[in-house]
Amino acid sequence: MVKTGAASNKSQGNKNEQKKLKTSDGSKRKKVVRRNSQGDKENLPECVQKTNGPKRKREPLEPTSNISDHYPKKKRAVSTKSELYSMSNRPLGYCLIVNNFNFEGTLQLRNRTGTDKDKDDLTRVFEKMAFKVEVRDDLQASDIQNVLKEFAERDHSQMDAFACCILSHGEKGSVLGIDGKPVPIRELTNLFANCHTLVNKPKLFFIQACQGNEAQQGVWMADGQENTTEERTFEEDSHTATSHSVPIEADFLIGIATVEYHKAFRHKTDGSIFIQELCNQLESGCPRKEDIHSILTKVNSIVSSKILQGHKQMPEVRYTLTKALVLPMK
């Protein structure tokens, strides 16, 4: 009986202790709840304390575009090497000049007087740009194809570019041999599109030839804008138009003296207006490290501003260059 009474007393004591613990925990929780319900300001954080003053008027949100950036922006590192064609090799590349003067074997085409001035100036300028210049005079249509094929098959691995200047009569999308037969410009450029040692290197073609028989008319301009007048004698590098086109592959630039269907003009002694202005702008722009696109834009602007025998001439540049091209100049 004694043992039983002791066990019962012990169990009763455990129950009382558990009840005390529950009571103490519950009282604490009640106190915490009571304090919060009373809104004791001393125990509340500042951000939730109530104020008896007037409510602050909410101002409209400011556009994010007007908010200054407190964090300095990182400048993007520009790698000029990846954005410019390499022009470090010497010689820089071959420059082929096809100079067709003598068209006496044809019935409707005259000799191209003044073309030797273009040839001499192109030779001087491209040699100053570190090109190795080679001139071919008075080529028939088949000869033009053969000589360009010869250059396309050469090893250009130790060079950075190729240039070709063709001075002749022409028609839409083609140049003419001295036999009067057309050579599509597309066929000539395709030869170099397949040249493995010129892959990813600029291939430049400058063509002085008409692209049709139409004379380009001027348009009225606003007061204060004037055209440069040309009263000297010019001839046309023209022929009948056909349906050839001039598509090009990657890393090509083709500068043509005039847009399709129209005539290009050449002075009898001073050379063609397009080639002469091209030489002028290369000599002035290359030493200032201007890229070829900027230079040819100036050529377009100056040539198109002139009046030639009462007509206009608008050069055209087509290119698929994938980098900026800055040609060197000695």
Q: What are the b/e assignments for 89-123, b being 16+ CB within 10 Å?
A: eebbbbbbbbbbbebeebeebeebebbebbbebbb
Q: For residues 139 and 209, is the Cβ–Cβ distance under 8 A?
A: no
188, 198, 195: which is closest to 89 by C-alpha? 198
89 within domain boundaries: yes
Is residue 29 in some structural domain? no
Would 314 be classed as within a structural domain?
yes
Between the alpha carbon of residue 312 and those of residues 219, 227, 244, 315, the distances in Å are 9, 10, 23, 10
User: Which DSSP symbol is given to 137?
Assistant: E
**25 belongs to a structural domain:** no
In the predicted structure, residue 217 carries a pLDDT above the cut 70: no
Catalytic residues: 169, 210
| Residue range of the domain that includes 159 | 82-319
**How many independent structural domains does the chain possess?**
1
Residue 240 has pLDDT above 80, yes or no: no
Helices 185-193 and 141-152 meet at what angle, rounded to 10? 20
Rounded to the nearest 5°, which phi and psi values hold at 30? -65, -40
* 259 residue type, one letter: V
Instruction: For residue 27, tell me if it sits in a domain.
Output: no
Whether 244 and 321 have beta carbons less than 8 Å apart is answered as no
**pLDDT surpasses 50 at 196:** yes
- DSSP track, 58-86: PPPPPPGGGSPPSSPPPPPPP-HHHHB--
Residue 15 lies in a domain: no
Kindly state the tokens that stand for 227. Answer: 């055209």
Q: How far is residue 128's CA from residue 43's CA, in Å, rounded to a whole number?
A: 86
Q: What is the pLDDT of residue 309?
A: 77
* Residue labelled with tokens 């993007």: 76
Residue 207's DSSP bridge partners are 166, 256
User: Pick the residue with more confidence: 151 or 311?
Assistant: 151
Residue 211 pLDDT: 77
**Domain assignment of residue 201, yes or no:** yes
CATH number at residue 95: 3.40.50.1460
In a domain, 10, yes or no: no
The answer on pLDDT for 233 being more than 60 is: no
Q: What is the pLDDT of residue 321?
A: 96
For residues 163 and 325, the answer to whether their CB atoms sit within 8 Å is no
The predicted-structure confidence for 113-128, as pLDDT tens digits, reads as follows 999 999 999 999 999 9
Scan for tokens 């022409």, then name that residue: 170
- Average pLDDT on 126-148 reads 98
Which of the four pLDDT bands, split at 50, 70 and 90, describes residue 311? confident
If pLDDT is split at 50, 70 and 90, which confidence band does 265 have?
confident
Q: What is the token pair recorded at 129?
A: 């740009």
- Higher pLDDT residue, 64 or 321? 321
Structure tokens that stand for 286 in this block: 């290359």
Does residue 19 or residue 249 have the better pLDDT? 249
The DSSP code sequence of 261-284 is: TB--EEETTTEEHHHHHHHHHHHH
